[in-house]
Amino acid sequence: MITFTPRWSFKGIEGNTKPGIAVRELIRKRVMLYDKVPPSDKFSAYGQGLDWVQYFLPEGSDTSSLSKCPFSIKSEKTNHE
């Protein structure tokens, strides 16, 4: 499952604010009840860490596959005659 949430929806609960910390703790507790596995150590708050990492979390705790972003831009030269 992947969910994208616009940044404006986090206004007032961002970063290391007291409300932001409380909301993240609540969400992570609910995730633990749902998933029955510990949350990834790659989860972070906005502005901490790299966002793309959180969209490609592997099952389990092995995060070695996250050394670089899995997306890359490829360009091919074409001849237009």
Q: What is the reported pLDDT for 22? A: 94
At residue 57's C-alpha, the angle toward residues 61 and 9, to 5°, is: 125
Q: What is the reported pLDDT for 27? A: 87
At residue 69's C-alpha, the angle toward residues 63 and 6, to 5°, is: 100
Q: What is the reported pLDDT for 26? A: 92
**Cα 36 to the chain's mean position, in Å?**
19
Q: Are 42 and 63 in contact (CB under 8 A)?
A: yes
> Given the structure tokens 């389990």, which residue do they identify?
60
- This prediction's pTM: 0.56
pLDDT tens per residue across span 1-57: 667 778 888 888 887 889 989 998 998 888 888 887 777 777 777 777 667 776 767
Q: What is the reported pLDDT for 8? A: 85
Task: For residues 61 and 37, give the distance between their C-alpha atoms in angstroms, rounded to a whole number.
Answer: 9
